[in-house]
Amino acid sequence: MASIDRRPGGKWRAQVRREGHVLSKTFVMKADADAWVRETESRIDKGEDPVRRQTTANTTFGELVDQHIDDLRTYGKQLRRSKDAALARLKRELGKDPVGNLTRERLVEYGRKRRDEGAGPATLAIDFSFIGTVLTHASAMHGANVDTESVRLARTALVRMGAIGPSRERDRRPTADELERLFAAFDGNARNTMPMTVIAKFAIATAMRLDEIVRIEWQHLDPRSRTILVEDRKDPRRKDGNNQRVPLLAVTGYDAFEILEEQRKRRGGNRGRCFPYNGRSVGTNFRRTCQDIGIEDLHFHDLRHEGTSRLFEAGLTIEQVPLVTGHKDWKMLKRYTQLRPENLHALLSKRG
């Protein structure tokens, strides 16, 4: 049984239910949906794998990326934001290359180019992991004749060059002077349509990631308990459902709850996202402002480090800090914590 329905956005969704198979795919043109239904039903009737496609040396890597994504959706697997972004980047960089041209030399060239553009060792390691995933998937699921050995050799070469490796642990925290200069620059820019100072202070107050800040919603704020629900927090061990109710504290020098209340008054509403801005635009604004006022090597994500460190300096314990930051163990938490020796006196006096 097959059905083809028009979606609200104008695209056509085709679905095939036949002999235990349940497959679906979305198309721009109805004619393409009709052709896919006929081909899929024919493959099932012949006892063939209904999602298998013919792959040749002229098949491009971009086609294999699309095939990988289609298969994930066909089998009901959600594509995470980080993987989606990585695959989109790989498709832009290598998408036009025929798979037969993805030799060790070509992949090493790609790795060097990414390194020269500023990609760190951990980022490049992720790139090569996904390249291998796409090629291995094409071979395992569709019998494609692809060269996965070249990926392994290229990765080995790039590891020895130092282009691929573990992430470098940062210990960068903004100074009080740098924060004052940043806030003054944000507030003094008449063309700035985003409340960058508010967002930056909220990042320090909550130690949230930027993508979490721009996703939280008013409906998840509980004023009585002064908490807010953060949905799908990042966790390498669990891909979905990492929802956490986070306390909005006032121990880092900024009151997270009061910042949200001010933001509510500023926006004049109780629906939608608390900070309805594009995360990439916020990050770009932060980076450009740092460059304009001469602050070197400071990333927006360093505000999460700053917030985490301030929580410890305020006297919170190892058990309490993850209730705010979402970290799952001390090893992960330690990477985001850079305590200042001069602050230990104040911390010990509070305990005494």
- Tell me the pLDDT tens digit for each residue of 223-237: 999 999 999 887 655
Contact 275, 213 (CB under 8 A): yes
**Residue the block writes with tokens 């019998």:** 143
Rounded CA-CA distance 128/155 in Å is: 7
- Tell me the pLDDT tens digit for each residue of 117-145: 888 898 899 999 999 999 998 888 877 78
Over residues 57-70, mean pLDDT? 86
Token pair of 323, please?
A: 């209730």
Domain 176-351 grouped into CATH 1.10.510.10? no
Residue 105 confidence class, pLDDT cut points 50, 70, 90: very high
Pick from 266, 264, 261, 287: nearest CA to 186: 287
Between 236 and 90, residue with greater pLDDT: 90
Between 13 and 50, residue with greater pLDDT: 13
DSSP output for 215-259: T-BGGGEETTTTEEEE-S---TT--S---EEEE----SSS-HHHH
Least confident of 15-19, 92-96, 214-218: 15-19
**E strand or H helix at 15, and its extent?**
strand 12-18
Q: 33-37, 61-65, 137-141, 348-352: which has the highest mean pLDDT?
A: 61-65
DSSP collapsed to 3 states, 182-225: HHHHHHHCCCCCCCHHHHHHHHHHHCCCHHHHCCCEHHHEECCC
DSSP output for 49-93: -TT-----TTSBHHHHHHHHHHHHHHTT----HHHHHHHHHHHHH
Q: Which burial class, exposed, middle or buried, applies to 117 when counting CB atoms under 10 A from its CB (0-12, 13-18, 19+)?
A: exposed
DSSP output for 282-347: HHHHHHHHHHHTT--S--TTHHHHHHHHHHHHTT--TTTTHHHH---SHHHHHTT----GGGHHHH
Please give the pLDDT value at position 73: 78
DSSP three-state, residue 273 = strand
- 296 pLDDT above the threshold of 70: yes
Least confident of 51-55, 215-219, 269-273: 51-55
Please give the pLDDT value at position 274: 96
Domain 54-168 grouped into CATH 2.60.120.10? no
- 350 pLDDT above the threshold of 70: no
Contact 196, 188 (CB under 8 A): no
Rounded CA-CA distance 296/200 in Å is: 17
Q: State pTM to two decimals.
A: 0.62
Please give the pLDDT value at position 351: 57
The upper half-sphere exposure of residue 143, i.e. CA atoms within 13 Å in the direction of its Cβ, equals 7
- 98 pLDDT above the threshold of 80: yes
Domain ranges of the chain: 1-50, 54-168, 176-351
Q: Is 326 left (phi over 0), alpha (psi -120 to 50) or beta?
A: left
Least confident of 81-90, 104-113, 175-184, 241-250: 81-90
Rounded CA-CA distance 26/13 in Å is: 4
Token pair of 349, please?
A: 């006096």
- 3 pLDDT above the threshold of 80: yes
**E strand or H helix at 275, and its extent?**
none
- 85 pLDDT above the threshold of 80: yes
Please give the pLDDT value at position 53: 55
- 239 pLDDT above the threshold of 60: no
Rounded CA-CA distance 228/324 in Å is: 10
Please give the pLDDT value at position 10: 80
Residue 269 confidence class, pLDDT cut points 50, 70, 90: confident
Please give the pLDDT value at position 136: 93
Residue 19 is classified by DSSP as T
Phi, psi of 52 (to 5 degrees): -75, 140
Instruction: Give the relative orientation of helices 121-142 and 104-116 as an angle to the nearest 10 degrees.
Output: 150
What does the radius of gyration of the chain's CA atoms come to, in whole angstroms? Answer: 25
Q: What is the dihedral of CA 100, 80, 86, 202, to 10 degrees?
A: 180
